[in-house]
Structure 1
Amino acid sequence: MPYSTLKQRLDHGDTVILDGATGTELQRRGVDMDPAAWCGVASLANQEVLTDIHRDYIAAGAEVITANTFASARVVLKQAGYGDKTEEINRAAVEAALRARDRSGNPEVVVAGSLSHMVYLASDRVPPPDEMPSEAEAAESFAELAQLLKAAGVELLLLEMMYHPKRTPKVVEAALATGLPVWFGLSARRGADGRLLSFFKETDVPLSEIVKMIPERGIDAAGVMHTGAEITAEALALIHKRYKGPLSAYPDSGYFEMPDWRFHDIVTPARLEQFYLDWLYQGAQIIGGCCGLTVEHIKAAVSARDRHQNAL
C-alpha cells in the first residue's frame, strides 16, 4: 500500500508534495460547473480531462493526488438532481485518480479522497433554515461519502475546509470510522478586527475553536487549506500549539462566485514558492495547492522543497 511508505517518510521528517486544485482546474480547462452542485457532477462526463489533470500534477511532482469529491456528498448532489447518482459520481472521481496513477507509471503516488462538510452550494447567500438539510441528514451524508470513498479505493481521506463548529466533528467521526489514514485541513479568514477566525461566515468563530476539534489521536497530519497565503503561517502556528504531528499547507488564490471560481489576482508561482519556503522553515511537511492554483504552482512547491533540503 503506497500510503505506508508515505507515512514512514513523514515520520522521518521528509517533505511531501500534495497536488493542486481539481474543481477549479476542471473549470479552467473548459468544463462547465453545475449551478447547484459545483464541480462534483463533472466527474461523470469528463473522465479524460480529470485523469489528465491528475497526471499533470504527478508529472509536476505531486506525491498525493486528490479525487474530485469535495462537493460530492449526497446532501449536495441531490440539490442538483443527482442524488441517485452519488455512488456513481464518487466512483468515477476515484477511478480517474487511480487511472492517472496507473498511466503515470509511478505506483508510489497516493490517491486521496476529499471529504468536506459542504451541504449547500446553490448560491452565495445564506439560505433560510427551511432550505437547509438537517444536521442529522448532513452527518449521514458525510458518513456515506467516507465509506463510498473507501470502497472505491482511496488510501487516505483529506478533511478539506473544516470550519463549521457543528459539522466539523461529524466529518471527523465519519472519516475515523473508515479506518483509513486521515489528514485534517482547516480554513481561516481574517476578521474585521484583525483576529484569525474560522472561515465560517454566519458569525465570528475564533480559529482556535476549530483547532480544538483536531483529534489528539487518529490523524496523521493537520494543517491549513483553502486559506489565503498571507495568513497561513499564523494559522499553522496556532495549530502547532495543539497538534505536534506533521503540518500541512495548501492555500487558495482568487475567490468563489457560485458556480465559478474567479481567477482574480492569482498569486504567482514565484511568489508562492517563497511562501512555501517560509512554511517549510516553520515546520510544515506537506505542501500543495487548493482552489485557483495550478500545475505551475505545484512545480513551485517542488522547487521550494528542493531549496529547503539543499539548505539543511
Structure 2
Amino acid sequence: MIATTLAVQDILVLDGALATELERRGADLKDPLWSAKLLIERPELIREVHLDYFRAGADVATTASYQATFEGFARRGFSHDEAGALMRRSVALAIEARDAFWAEPANRAGRRRPLVAASVGPYGAMLADGSEYRGYPGVTREQLAAFHRPRLQVLAAAGADLLACETIPCLDEALAIASLLPGLQPALPAWISFSCRDGEHVSQGERFADCAAALDGLPGVAAVGLNCTAPEHVPALVAAAQARTRLPIVVYPNSGEQWDAVAKCWHGERDAADFAAQAQRWRRGGARLIGGCCRTGPDEIRALRAALLG
C-alpha cells in the first residue's frame, strides 16, 4: 500500500494532530482515554476533523484508536466486546470521512484516493502516565506482544488500509509489534514510528539508527521513522535512518511549541509556514511520509502539501 502509492507520488502527506485539534474545537480530553474518550461521547467531531484534514490535503487519516485499549476501556466499565466495537468505530469514522471526501468529484483532481491508517499507540499510552516518552525497561518483549496482539487483530480486521504504530519509545516494543504483523488477518502493512528524546536516541535511550536497522526487511514493516518529537531533531534523525535502512522514512513531529508538564499547557508560537519550510528540509533529507503530530492542524497540513507537492 505505501510502496504502491510512493511509486507514483513522491511524498505521502499525513494528517496532523487529532487530540490537540479536538481540544482546539472545544473537546475536554482531560481523561486517561484521551482522544478515545470521544469515540464514546462525540464521534461526529472525530469524523469532522478527519474530513477537514482530507480537505487540507492529507493523503492519510490516522484513527482515534491511539489510546483505545481493552485495558483502558475496561477501567471505564466496558466489556471486551464493547471495547472492540469502539476500536472498530475509530476506523469506521475515518472511512466515512474519506468516502465523503472522495464522493465530491472536485476533490479528486490531482489526488489519489486517501488511505486510512489505524493508530496503534504504545503500551505507555494505556498506562496514561507519560511513559511513552520515557520507556519501560522492566517490561519484556513477550509482555508487550501479549498487550498488542488482541488490539492489532481487531484493528486489522476493521477495514483500515494500514497500521500506524506510533510514539514507540523502545526497540523491544517495535520488535514485539513487528513479530505480530505476519499473523494478522488480514495482513496489513504498518509503519513504526518512535518517540525520540534528541537527534540521536529514542525515548528509552537506544540509538534511533539501530532501531531503524533492526526493522529493515521485517515482514509487514513498510516504513520506519519518528513522531511526537521536537522538529529540530528531525534532520539528524532522518540522516541516521537513511544510513541504516532501505525502508521509506516517516516523520510527523510536533509543531515546535513546548509542553509544560507542571502547568499542563503549551508555550511558544505555532507557524504553519515555518513548519512547511522545515518539511521541505526533511524531504530533501530523505523523508517520504510527512505530516504533523501534537499542536499541528489543518493549516499546517495545507501549507505542508503546498510546499511539498505544489
Structure-1-length-normalised TM-score: 0.83
Which structure 1 residue ranges, 5 or more long, are not aligned?
Answer: 127-131, 308-312
User: 1:282 is matched with which residue: 280, 285, 291?
Assistant: 285
Aligned pairs for 1:198-217 within 5 A: 198-200=202-204, 204-217=205-218
Matched-pair contact (CA < 8 Å) for 1:17–1:286: yes
**Partner AA of 2:15 in structure 1:** D
CA distance in 2, matches of 1:96, 1:143: 23
The verdict on how the C-alpha distance between 1:237 and 1:77 changes in structure 2, with shifts beyond 3 A counting, is: farther
The verdict on how the C-alpha distance between 1:124 and 1:141 changes in structure 2, with shifts beyond 3 A counting, is: closer
The verdict on how the C-alpha distance between 1:282 and 1:153 changes in structure 2, with shifts beyond 3 A counting, is: same
Deviations 1:171-212 (A, max 9, x none): 22233432201112122112xxxx622122xxx333334334
> Are 1:233 and 2:241 matched, yes or no?
no
CA distance in 1, matches of 2:72, 2:39: 14
> Are 1:7 and 2:11 matched, yes or no?
no
Quote the residue 1:167 is aligned against.
Answer: 173
Matched-pair contact (CA < 8 Å) for 1:115–1:160: yes
**Partner AA of 2:211 in structure 1:** I
The range that moved more, 294-303 or 261-270, is 261-270
The verdict on how the C-alpha distance between 1:150 and 1:71 changes in structure 2, with shifts beyond 3 A counting, is: same
User: 2:247 is matched with which residue: 239, 245, 248?
Assistant: 245
How many pairs were matched up? 290
Deviations 1:200-248 (A, max 9, x none): 2xxx333334334324233222222111110011111111112123222
User: 1:27 is matched with which residue: 9, 15, 23?
Assistant: 23
Deviations 1:104-144 (A, max 9, x none): 12581111101122344443489xxxxx9886554223111
Quote the residue 1:189 is aligned against.
Answer: 197
SS in 2 for 1:243: coil
CA distance in 1, matches of 2:233, 2:76: 34
RMSD over aligned CA atoms reads: 2.7
CA distance in 1, matches of 2:61, 2:182: 20
Which structure 2 residue ranges, 5 or more long, are not aligned?
Answer: 104-111, 133-137
CA distance in 1, matches of 2:213, 2:309: 33
**Partner AA of 2:25 in structure 1:** R
SS in 2 for 1:242: coil
Aligned pairs for 1:59-208 within 5 A: 59-82=55-78, 84=80, 85-105=82-102, 108-119=113-124, 120-124=126-130, 136=142, 138-178=144-184, 179-190=187-198, 196-200=200-204, 204-208=205-209
CA distance in 2, matches of 1:99, 1:82: 24
The range that moved more, 50-59 or 208-217, is 208-217
Structure-2-length-normalised TM-score: 0.84
SS in 1 for 2:86: helix
Q: Percent identity?
A: 25
CA distance in 1, matches of 2:76, 2:30: 8
Q: How far does residue 74 in structure 1 lie from its aligned partner after superposition?
A: 1.8
